Amino acid sequence: MPEPYWPKRKNAFHLSDADRNHTIIRVRCRYCKRTAYYNPVDLIVVFGDVEVDDLMVKMRCERGRDHGRLLVECISPSAADAVGMKIRRLDSIQLRRIPIWRED
């Protein structure tokens, strides 16, 4: 018999908690093996203060939309690991204006 669905526990780990703990979000595509590092504050601007585990569903790989879910982790890099790490920063958000026409 399958296991029943249990709701998520209260006080799960949100992006604001990751920022408070000074961690970095590591996002890895399992298909193309591409890894990117993000600051939690930038992800809060884009997705809101969601749980870190929910980013697996909300984020998509930039190289291909059909690569499946991404692996999202919070890491606290050591000084030796942080030397060559390039953190992606939010530059701007562009909104697309698409006209919708109707016949009169």
Q: What is the tens place of the pLDDT at every residue in 16-26?
A: 999 999 999 99
Among 1-5, 34-38, 89-93, name the one with the lowest average pLDDT.
1-5
Amino acid at the residue 54:
D
For the chain, list the strands marked E by DSSP: 24-29, 35-38, 70-75, 87-88
**3-state class percentages of the chain: helix first, strand second, coil last, to nearest 5:** 25, 20, 55
Query: What pLDDT sits at residue 7?
Result: 55
Q: Break the chain into its structural domains and give their ranges.
A: 15-88
Taking all residues of the chain, what is their mean pLDDT, rounded to a whole number?
Answer: 86
User: Using an 8 Å Cβ cutoff, are 72 and 80 in contact?
Assistant: no
Q: How confident is the model at residue 72 (pLDDT cuts 50, 70, 90)?
A: very high
